[in-house]
A and B are shown apart, each in its own frame.
Chain A
C-alpha cells in the first residue's frame, strides 16, 4: 500500500520571457505515496501550478528527474507521454475545461476516445459509471451551459476518473466555487481517496487544505514546509452543519 507513486529530485523550471529568466521552480524534492491526499499550498506566484503541470506531464522541467509510477518521464518522447496522460493521469482544472455544446456524458467519454484498446460499448459504460461516482447520473445529457459551476467541476472530475488513473491532479479545483460547493467537491475527493485514489491538488485556502492528509507549502519556487494534517476535516460532517441556503457566501 505504501509504494511510491511520485518521486522528484532537484527539479527546476525556468521560463524565458524576452531577456528575463523567471525561475519558477528552484530545486524541488518531493515524494508522494500511493493513497495519499496532498494539498499543495502557497502564495500566488510561488510555483504551485508549474509544479502541478509538471506532475501532470503537461510541461517538462528544465532540470531534474520526475519518476511517475517508477517511470522516468523526462526520457520519454511526446507520444509516450501522451499515452501516460491518457492511461495513468487524471487532470482537473480550475476553469473546468469542458467542451462546449457537448453533453456531460460525451465530455466524460473523451479520454477513452484516445485509448484504442477501449471499445465503444465499454467507453459508454465507463463514462456512466464515472458520472454515477460524482452523483450526476441524472444530468448526463445536459450541456455544460445547463449545469452549475459545481456540477461542471463534477463532470470534469468524472472525466479525470474515467480512465481509472493512478493519480488525480487538480489545480485550484474549488477556486471558482462558493464555500458550500467547494466542500461538496472536497467531499467527493475524500470519497475517492478513501477508495484508494491518490490525489494531489493545489489550493491557496487554508480550510480547504485541511481536508487533505498532507500539506506541502511552496514559497518562491521551493518547498519550505511539509506537514501531515493533524486535525483533518471531514467534508461530509461539515456539510451537515452548514445551513442549506448558504447566504454567507458573498466572498
Chain B
C-alpha cells in the first residue's frame, strides 16, 4: 500500500470518529500548549531581567558590608559598620582596574513639600555616582565638589518623587522641600528609568551629597556601600580581586579572617540571575512535559480501545487483502496524525496562551522556533511510541479470529 493511500485510510478512519479523535488530541494539545507557553514565559522573563540588569551598566562593581551575625541572628547588611569613607579614598588612590568610585549612604524618611508628602529613600553619594549607575540629569544640575565638602542641603529628585510631590511632568528645580524636617534645595531631577526586573521602582529616590546624608540625616560615621566602575565588563573579575585585596589591607584583616565585606559585579549578577531563570524555565518545561507524557498515554489508551473496538474491521480489512503491516501502518498513521495534529493545535494555543500570560504578567513571552520544533519532534515520537504497541496488537490478529470477534 502506498503512503497516500495509507494516509487517506487513516484520515477516513479518524473522521469516522471525530469526537473521539478530538478528545484524544486534547491531551496532546494541552501538553504541547503548556510546554510552549511555559518555555516562552521563562524565556521572556529571563530576557527582560537580563535587559534591566544590563541597562544598569554591565561593568558596575558593588561593595557591601558582610552580614554580621550575632548568635546566629542576621542583623542585615545595612547595620554593619564595616565600610568607611576611607575605603573609598583608598580605592580611588590605589585601584587600577576601576575608573570611578562613589560611596553610598542610605536614609529613609518623610519628604514634604507644602501640603504634599511622601516616603522615600535618600541616597548620599558623590559626583561619580551618576556615571557609575548610568543615571541622567534631565533638568537642573548635579551637586559639585564644593557642595560635597560643605555638607550643603541640596538634592536631586527621581521622577516618582517629583510626581508624588509636584505632579506629573512638573519641574521643581529651585524649589525647597523638607527631608526629615530639614530644608533642602532641589537643584536637579533625574530622567526616569522604569521598573526594575524585581518589580522595584527605580525612580523612587532622592540623591544628595553623602556628607549631608551621613551627618545631617543618618547621623552615622560609616557608609552603607561603595559603587565603582570596572574599566570594562571583561575586567570585572580583576576589579573584584583588586578591590578585595585593597579593602582587606585597609581593614587590616588577618590572613585567616573572613572578609567583612562582599564585592559583586553586575556581570556576575547577570550570570547568577540567568542561571536561576534557566533553571526556572527548565523546571516549568519539565512540569509541562509531564502533561505531554500523560497526553501520550491517553493516545495509547484510545488506540487500544480503538483496536479492540475495531477488531471486526481489522478482520474485514485482512479478508480483502490487508497485510499485517498494512494494518500496523494504518494504526500507526492514525496515532501519528493525532499527535502531530494535536501538536500543531497545541503550538497555536501555546502561543496565544504565552501572549496572554505575558500581557497579564507584563513580561514579553518569547516563543523560540527551537521549542516549536522540539514540540513537533516530541509529538511524532509520542505518536510512534504510544501507537506502536496497539498497532502491533492489531497487526498480529488472525483474519478469521478478528472477523469472529464479538
A82: which of B9, B321, B403 is its contact (CB, 8 Å)? B321
Contact B319 A110 (CB under 8 A): no
18 sampled A-B residue pairs with Cβ under 8 A: A58-B399, A58-B403, A59-B399, A78-B324, A79-B324, A82-B321, A83-B321, A85-B318, A85-B319, A86-B322, A91-B320, A97-B316, A99-B316, A111-B321, A113-B5, A113-B8, A114-B317, A114-B326
7 pairs of A and B residues whose beta carbons are closest in the complex: A86-B321, A111-B320, A114-B321, A82-B323, A58-B400, A101-B16, A59-B400
B322-333 CB mask vs A (1 if < 8 Å, else 0) is 111110000000
The smallest C-beta distance from A114 to any residue of chain B, in angstroms, reads: 4
User: A187-206: which residues lie under 8 A (CB-CB) from chain B?
Assistant: none
Supply 4 further A-B pairs (C-beta < 8 A) apart from A53-B400, A56-B319, A85-B319: A58-B318, A97-B403, A114-B1, A120-B5
B320: which of A59, A102, A110 is its contact (CB, 8 Å)? A110
The smallest C-beta distance from B19 to any residue of chain A, in angstroms, reads: 12
Give A82 to B324 CA distance when docked, in angstroms: 9
B323: which of A58, A79, A97 is its contact (CB, 8 Å)? A79
The smallest C-beta distance from B323 to any residue of chain A, in angstroms, reads: 4
- Please report the number of residue pairs spanning A and B whose Cβ atoms sit closer than 8 angstroms: 70
Chain A residue with Cβ nearest B398: A59
User: A16-43: which residues lie under 8 A (CB-CB) from chain B?
Assistant: none
Complex contacts, A91 vs chain B, CB 8 Å:
319-320
Complex contacts, B317 vs chain A, CB 8 Å:
110, 114
Contact B313 A99 (CB under 8 A): yes
B193 at the interface (CB under 8 A from A): no
Complex contacts, B326 vs chain A, CB 8 Å:
82, 114
Complex contacts, A101 vs chain B, CB 8 Å:
16
The smallest C-beta distance from A108 to any residue of chain B, in angstroms, reads: 10
The smallest C-beta distance from A25 to any residue of chain B, in angstroms, reads: 14
B368 at the interface (CB under 8 A from A): no
**A interface residues, Cβ below 8 angstroms from B:** 53, 56, 58-59, 78-79, 82-83, 85-87, 91, 93, 97, 99-102, 106, 110-111, 113-116, 120, 159, 163
User: B5-62: which residues lie under 8 A (CB-CB) from chain A?
Assistant: 5, 8-9, 12, 16
Contact A116 B2 (CB under 8 A): yes
Count of chain B residues near A, Cβ 8 A: 26
Chain B residue with Cβ nearest A91: B319
Give A82 to B9 CA distance when docked, in angstroms: 18
A85: which of B5, B8, B321 is its contact (CB, 8 Å)? B321
The smallest C-beta distance from B334 to any residue of chain A, in angstroms, reads: 14
Give A111 to B317 CA distance when docked, in angstroms: 8
Give A193 to B316 CA distance when docked, in angstroms: 24
The smallest C-beta distance from A202 to any residue of chain B, in angstroms, reads: 15
Contact A78 B323 (CB under 8 A): yes
Complex contacts, B322 vs chain A, CB 8 Å:
82, 86, 114
Contact A114 B400 (CB under 8 A): no
The smallest C-beta distance from A182 to any residue of chain B, in angstroms, reads: 22
Chain B residue with Cβ nearest A84: B321
Contact B16 A102 (CB under 8 A): yes
Give A159 to B320 CA distance when docked, in angstroms: 9
Give A88 to B2 CA distance when docked, in angstroms: 20
User: B302-326: which residues lie under 8 A (CB-CB) from chain A?
Assistant: 312-313, 315-326
Give A220 to B155 CA distance when docked, in angstroms: 115
B321: which of A93, A100, A115 is its contact (CB, 8 Å)? A115
Complex contacts, A79 vs chain B, CB 8 Å:
323-325
User: B360-406: which residues lie under 8 A (CB-CB) from chain A?
Assistant: 398-400, 403
Complex contacts, B400 vs chain A, CB 8 Å:
53, 58-59
The smallest C-beta distance from B404 to any residue of chain A, in angstroms, reads: 9
Chain A CB within 10 Å — which of B5, B320, B398 has the most?
Answer: B320
Complex contacts, A82 vs chain B, CB 8 Å:
318, 321-324, 326
The smallest C-beta distance from A4 to any residue of chain B, in angstroms, reads: 23
The smallest C-beta distance from B21 to any residue of chain A, in angstroms, reads: 13
Chain B residue with Cβ nearest A83: B321
Chain B residue with Cβ nearest A113: B5
Contact A106 B319 (CB under 8 A): no
Complex contacts, A97 vs chain B, CB 8 Å:
312, 315-316, 319, 403
The smallest C-beta distance from A79 to any residue of chain B, in angstroms, reads: 5
Complex contacts, B323 vs chain A, CB 8 Å:
78-79, 82-83, 114
The smallest C-beta distance from A88 to any residue of chain B, in angstroms, reads: 10
Contact B321 A106 (CB under 8 A): no
Chain B CB within 10 Å — which of A86, A87, A113, A114 has the most?
Answer: A113
The smallest C-beta distance from A87 to any residue of chain B, in angstroms, reads: 7
Complex contacts, A110 vs chain B, CB 8 Å:
317, 320
Contact B1 A87 (CB under 8 A): no
